[in-house]
Amino acid sequence: MRSTAGRLSGRGITGIVEDTPGITCVPGIIASRAKTLSFVYKIITTDDTQYKYDATTVPIPWSSQMYESKQTLRIGYFTSSPVFPAVEVERTGVLMKCLNEQKKLREQVLDDMKRLNITLLLAPVYPTPACKIKDADDIIGNLFYAFEWNVLNLPAGVVPFGTESGTKVEAYNDEGDMFLKLAKQGTESAKGMPIGVQIIGQPFQEEVVLRILTELEDFKNTSS
């Protein structure tokens, strides 16, 4: 799970895109279970302990009320998203324009969530089943489904919620596209691989994201 920038201290951590304008690197925590992930977040953010050592963090303590709430939430979803082309920045003016568009896009997403009374978004983690290792670099654009929340600086977490059946592969229309062909070939060999779902929240509401990740995990375990 990635947090909103400033919620967790990034001191001593080197980001993988440190020199990319408009992208703020944040610490990500990986755990085998959503409950473990929630426990780690709770320990780190309780009593603003990290703020004592890193004044750049936002002093928002862990909210048990948000995490343990049973209030019904309205969750929006999408099943597909366009892949944004890479932007080559050459001039300061172009950079500032891109950063301004980034700000507007973030505000638009948050305004739409407010207008529609949506607390969270549910989305795919990856638009295709697990690909072959040798094909990973060729279809790196698929990472957009997760990468966009880094651009918008929204908290997002992932939890396994099914496995690839490997059925209906032949019916998949690759439209003659090289990347879609690779995805189709990957589907044939990905049978039994886990499929994740992604939950995206509003800024500094990591507890709500973790709550739903935990509920999804519990539902999956009790129904399997």
Q: How far apart are CA 102 and CA 87, in angstroms?
A: 12
CB atoms within 10 A of CB 215: 15
Q: Is the confidence at residue 95, as pLDDT, over 80? A: no
Q: What is the pLDDT of residues 148-199, one digit of tens each?
A: 898 899 999 999 988 887 776 677 677 777 777 777 777 777 788 888 899 9
Question: What burial letters (b/e) apply to 97-132, b meaning 16+ CB within 10 Å?
Answer: eeeeebeeeeeebeeebeeeeebbbbbbbbbbbbbe
In the predicted structure, residue 96 carries a pLDDT above the cut 60: yes
pTM of the full structure: 0.83
What's the mean pLDDT when you consider all of the chain? 83
Looking at per-residue confidence, does 148 or 212 come out higher?
212
Q: Which residues pair with 124 in a beta bridge?
A: 197
Distances (CA, A) of 214 to 49, 120, 125, 199, 218: 24, 14, 17, 11, 6
Please give the residue that has the higher pLDDT: either 46 or 138. 46
